Amino acid sequence: MKALIQRSLNSSVSIDGKVNGKIDKGIVVLVGFTLGDSEKEIDYMVNKIVNLRIFDDENGVMNKSLLEVGGDILSISQFTLYADTNKGKRPSYVKALSGDKATILYDLFNKKLSEFVHVETGIFGADMLVNIQNDGPITIMLER
């Protein structure tokens, strides 16, 4: 499981010209799954994301978590995190979990995140336009 997280001031996802999810202060999570991923990896990742200290404290030091600042999450399924570009010029996605299995894990991931914070999402498998206002910029790759 991989999650690319970005601290955000204002982000949204649109599908067919309609906003499907929108957050202000919080984290955008681009998440992808691979063979062998399970609830164990999801639990680890959810805990890591909501507790990662990437928000500024009163001294301007990244010392506060999403939970402490009361931020939201915009969660976007992103199988391309598993792109393999070692051969040729066209990425291979064979390491990405098939859609029918990944959608189950994506739904579980979002459900578990929503036990801690407000979560907005895209639609799994849809052609999405994601607008991310990356604050910092802070971008961190998490992998489990």
Catalytic residues: 78-80
* Sign of the dihedral through C-alpha 35, 40, 41, 46: positive
Are 115 and 43 within 8 A, CB to CB?
A: no
Burial of 115 (0-12, 13-18, 19+ CB in 10 A): exposed
Instruction: Let me know: does 20 contact 122? Beta carbons within 8 Å.
Output: yes
Beta strand segments in the chain, E: 2-15, 18-23, 26-32, 55-56, 62-64, 72-77, 119-121, 129-143
